[in-house]
Structure 1
Amino acid sequence: MAANENLPPNIIKQLSKELKNLNDSPPEGINVVVNDDDFSAIFADIEGPVGTPYENGIFRMKLILSPDFPQSPPRGYFMTRIFHPNIATNGEICVNTLKKDWNPSLGLRHVLIVVRCLLIEPFPESALNEQAGKMLLEDYDEYARHARLYTGIHAIKPKYKQKTGAISESTSALNVDPTSTVNGDKAPFLSPPPSTAPLTPKVLGSVAQDQNVIAAPAAKSLGPPAAQKKGRAAMGAAKAQADKKKIDARKRSLKRL
């Protein structure tokens, strides 16, 4: 039985429409990987935001939808290893949007944006990874070093240049559950998989723009003979101008006499 058959037809229709919208107009730094035969697990590649220890890395995550979705929130996991206070060692994501603050009217776009915002603004006070939370509070430089190390080793390397702008949507929607704990469910990390998601029109446009830029020819540097010739010409012009000023001054003096 196909996984989609576990979801009501109206929910499948809603998800299909939302996933198409995410593919046509993806949020900043997020690329959804769509499997039309299985909407029970939604995969997304999230670019590490610029200016954070996760920059220059792509992190794959998944949202697991229950049969009674959207009445129950999806469960979120990072499949790529990441050093972050609010992401457990088994990849579970601690954020209120996926827990007590869930609302059936919230869409997948909102959830994905909140998860990426979590990479910008961690909440160490409600850490699932206690080591990362303590380190962030006591020694940010050491925390950032660890996070960058994980990013360099485990994150997927981007195939195109990241945009330098921060995520455009407000981070005010970010909210972490201070009482959340890791449950017994396991979501083992996977080795960084090659990104199989098709490039969206937005990405294709960016790549095409980069490829169409033709570098302006560099100015030809002057060799020693040319530079010397140019210098002598400049000195000659300056001397001629000074001589002319002297002659003019003498003429004015003769007129006074």
Structure 2
Amino acid sequence: MATNENLPPNVVKQLAKELKNLDETPPEGIKVGVDDDDFSTIYADIEGPAGTPYENGVFRMKLILSRDFPQSPPQGYFMTKIFHPNIATNGEICVNTLKKDWNPSLGLRHVLIVVRCLLIEPFPESALNEQAGKMLLENYEEYARLARLYTGIHALKPKPKFKTGAISESTTALNVDQTNTSALNVDQKNAAALPMPMPSPLAPSPTATKGASVQDQTIPAAALNPTTETGVSGSAAVIPSTQKKESGLAKVQADKRKMDARKKSLKRL
């Protein structure tokens, strides 16, 4: 395997600078990756441009740098199978930028942008895939159908993009939840610190009620018999004991008067 030691130090330094720039500000639809121990092979994932048969697909490619790079152009290959006039069945890329139009001053960014533009505008006149080139010239609909079929079968699926600030929003939401939880804990502590309410003197103690027998409990007669002496069903009214005593006294007096009347009658006889 080629290593960074096989490339001139000045080339390695230039590549490191360019790769950092590509990582910080990548070209539209292109993401670059590299092995830190081997700058001689550059990988890139290229999103299929919208409005082309390659839309909704991601195609992986690689650029292989020779030892005399940048004097000689890199070799470009598609690692993802694709139906395209300028890409051979083995993945080799045919584009003038990597052939006769190569210039040592051209950087990797320029090469990657040209390759992506090739997906937008193929050049069937210099086709490596003759079937795709001929079909593109004679029957575009059939060419597009096959290209879409290859894309659906072989291309990688685009990864979902995170919304800007999603991490900070999640962190904020987490902090809000923690604040609410803290407030709840404070309320619970305050509630625990409050004195327990004293039981009402009218309400029997649950403990006393549980341990007392029926005889120890005073149960109003009205509670046992819903119909009271007033004759009203369901009434809780009870005749006071003083009224009961007066009623009994009046009855005794009436009985005495009756006895006296009977005695007087007997005397007359």
TM category (shorter chain) comes to 0.5 to 0.7
| Two-structure CA RMSD over aligned residues (Å) | 1.8
Deviation of the 1:59 alpha carbon: 0.2
The corresponding residue for 1:76 is: 76
Deviation of the 1:2 alpha carbon: 6.3
Rg comparison, structure with higher value: 2
Distance 1:207 1:89 in 2: 42
More helix, by proportion: 2
The corresponding residue for 1:152 is: 152
Distance 2:159 2:63 in 1: 24
Distance 1:61 1:112 in 2: 10
Distance 2:72 2:148 in 1: 34
Distance 1:206 1:136 in 2: 40
Distance 2:2 2:92 in 1: 26
Distance 1:102 1:110 in 2: 11
Matches within 5 A, 1:86-235: 86-160=86-160, 206=164, 208=166
Q: Does 1:11 align with 2:6?
A: no
Which ranges of 4 or more aligned residues in structure 1 deviate by more than 2 Å?
203-209
In structure 2, relative to structure 1, the CA distance for the partners of 1:148 and 1:205 (3 Å cut) is same
Matched residue count: 169
Deviation of the 1:159 alpha carbon: 1.0
The corresponding residue for 2:32 is: 32
Partner SS for 1:41 = strand
Partner SS for 2:60 = strand
Is the contact made by 2:41 and 2:65 (CA closer than 8 Å) also made in structure 1?
A: yes
Partner SS for 1:39 = strand
1:49-108, Cα deviation, whole Å (9 max, x unpaired): 000000000000000000000000000000000000000011000001001110000000
Distance 1:46 1:156 in 2: 10
Is the contact made by 2:33 and 2:43 (CA closer than 8 Å) also made in structure 1?
A: yes
TM-score (norm 2): 0.60
The corresponding residue for 1:48 is: 48
TM-score (norm 1): 0.63
Is the contact made by 2:34 and 2:41 (CA closer than 8 Å) also made in structure 1?
A: no
Partner SS for 2:46 = strand
Distance 2:7 2:23 in 1: 21
The corresponding residue for 2:22 is: 22
Is the contact made by 1:18 and 1:108 (CA closer than 8 Å) also made in structure 2?
A: yes
Deviation of the 1:126 alpha carbon: 1.1
Percent identity (aligned) = 82
Unmatched runs of 5 consecutive residues or more in structure 1: 161-202, 213-257
Deviation of the 1:207 alpha carbon: 8.4
Distance 1:62 1:207 in 2: 32
Letter in 1 for 2:52: T
1:221-255, Cα deviation, whole Å (9 max, x unpaired): xxxxxxxxxxxxxxxxxxxxxxxxxxxxxxxxxxx
Distance 1:33 1:158 in 2: 16
Distance 1:99 1:110 in 2: 14
Is the contact made by 1:83 and 1:146 (CA closer than 8 Å) also made in structure 2?
A: yes
Deviation of the 1:208 alpha carbon: 3.7
Is the contact made by 1:45 and 1:60 (CA closer than 8 Å) also made in structure 2?
A: yes
In structure 2, relative to structure 1, the CA distance for the partners of 1:2 and 1:111 (3 Å cut) is closer
In structure 2, relative to structure 1, the CA distance for the partners of 1:71 and 1:149 (3 Å cut) is same
Is the contact made by 2:2 and 2:40 (CA closer than 8 Å) also made in structure 1?
A: no
Letter in 2 for 1:153: I
In structure 2, relative to structure 1, the CA distance for the partners of 1:205 and 1:3 (3 Å cut) is farther
Partner SS for 1:45 = strand
Distance 2:163 2:113 in 1: 22
Is the contact made by 1:2 and 1:37 (CA closer than 8 Å) also made in structure 2?
A: no
Unmatched runs of 5 consecutive residues or more in structure 2: 171-269
